[in-house]
Amino acid sequence: MNKYEEIANELRRRITESEYAEGEMLPDQIALAKEFNVSRMTLKKAIDIIAMEGLVFRKRGVGTFVIKSALWNSGDSKIDDYTGLSKQFPNKKVESKILLFDIVFPPKELQALLMIEENDPVYHIKRLRIIDHKPYLLEDTYFVASLVKQLTEETIFASIYEYIQQTLGLKIGGAYRKIHADLPNELDLLELDCSENTPILEVEQVVYLTNGTPFEYSTSRSRYDTRSYTITDIIKQ
């Protein structure tokens, strides 16, 4: 993630959590650039992002002000975020219910997706993620055991991505993601508090390290009214 994207994420968090109130003017760019220890050009890129999202507007000769976006919702998830739910919702109670925790040998389709052999073990984890005591997301995940080492139930109850990046020191390079709508399956009906006709949003992904090695294949499923994904598309000149 580029530095200006990190700054945009932090400014977005401050706005959505009302640290910067609606109608309030942001600190001037010199002060913010000093706080984040970046150039004013880098800071401008960050503010450009949140301006395109409709979170702020610039008043020439005066400053940048916080507004309410018609599109942005505090429950939105950026499609390129790899911090995990615990970091996405720091002021909410995030819990995990473990439905499955096993280590298995991968079937052929998974071998191809993760570029591993049939005798390379993988962790298979199913979790229900719960936010403020309400079912939020069903995750069905495979991790390459030789890369994501020594997973424990304690880690799974907390943040796996935090463990991967901070404890193991692995650097996530990106992901291929496919998003589509579906009807609920039996597990959705059981865990997501939905009916047979409730639309389900599914995200299927393969996640890679910076060296191009895939380490995760997963699907996540949520009710249509609990989670959405955003992307800010910046055209490089």
What local confidence, expressed as pLDDT, does residue 80 receive? 66
**Residue at 235 is within a domain:** no
pLDDT for the residue 62: 86
Q: Would the pLDDT of 22 be above 90?
A: no
Give this prediction's pTM: 0.74
pLDDT digits (tens, 9 = 90+) for 39-97: 999 999 999 888 887 788 888 888 899 886 555 565 667 666 666 777 777 778 889 99
Last residue of a domain, one of 66, 101, 118: 66
Q: Could you please report the per-residue DSSP string of 108-146?
A: HHHHHHHT--TTS-EEEEEEEEEETTEEEEEEEEEEETT
149 with 197, same domain: the answer is yes
Question: Do 53 and 107 reside in the same domain of the chain?
Answer: no
Overall domain count for the chain: 2
Q: Which of helix, strand or coil describes residue 104?
A: strand
In degrees, rounded to 5, the angle at the alpha carbon of residue 179 between the alpha carbons of residues 174 and 185 is 125
With respect to residue 237, please indicate whether it lies within any of the assigned structural domains: no
Q: In this model, does residue 100 exceed pLDDT 80?
A: yes
In a domain, 27, yes or no: yes
pLDDT at position 83 is 67
Residue 115 shares a structural domain with residue 160: yes
Q: Which two tokens stand for residue 52?
A: 């395109």
Q: Are residues 55 and 84 in the same domain?
A: no
Q: In sequence order, which residues have a C-beta less than 8 Å from that of residue 132 and are 6 or more positions away?
A: 92, 93
Q: Are 23 and 136 found together in one domain?
A: no
103 and 9 share one domain: no
Structural domain containing residue 55: 3-66
Same domain, residue pair 85 and 131? yes
Q: Is residue 236 part of a domain?
A: no
- Dihedral over Cα of 61, 64, 68, 73: its sign: positive
134 and 204 assigned to the same domain: yes
> The tokens 């002021």 sit on which residue?
91
Is 123:148 a contact under the CB 8 Å cutoff?
A: yes
Distant-in-sequence, close-in-space partners of 73: CB < 8 Å, separation ≥ 6 = 228
DSSP assignment of 91-103 equals TS-EEEEEEEEEE
Query: Which three-class secondary structure state does DSSP give residue 219?
Result: strand
Is residue 85 included in any domain, yes or no? Answer: yes
Residue where a domain stops, chosen among 66, 96, 119: 66
What is the reported pLDDT for 139? 96
Q: Does the residue 198 lie in any domain?
A: yes
CA neighbor of 203 nearest in space, from 148, 139, 127? 139
- Measure the CA–CA gap between 58 and 26, rounded to whole angstroms: 10
pLDDT digits (tens, 9 = 90+) for 150-206: 999 999 988 898 899 999 999 988 899 999 999 999 999 999 999 999 999 999 999
Predicted local distance difference test score (pLDDT) of residue 101: 97
Domain holding 183: CATH number?
A: 3.40.1410.10
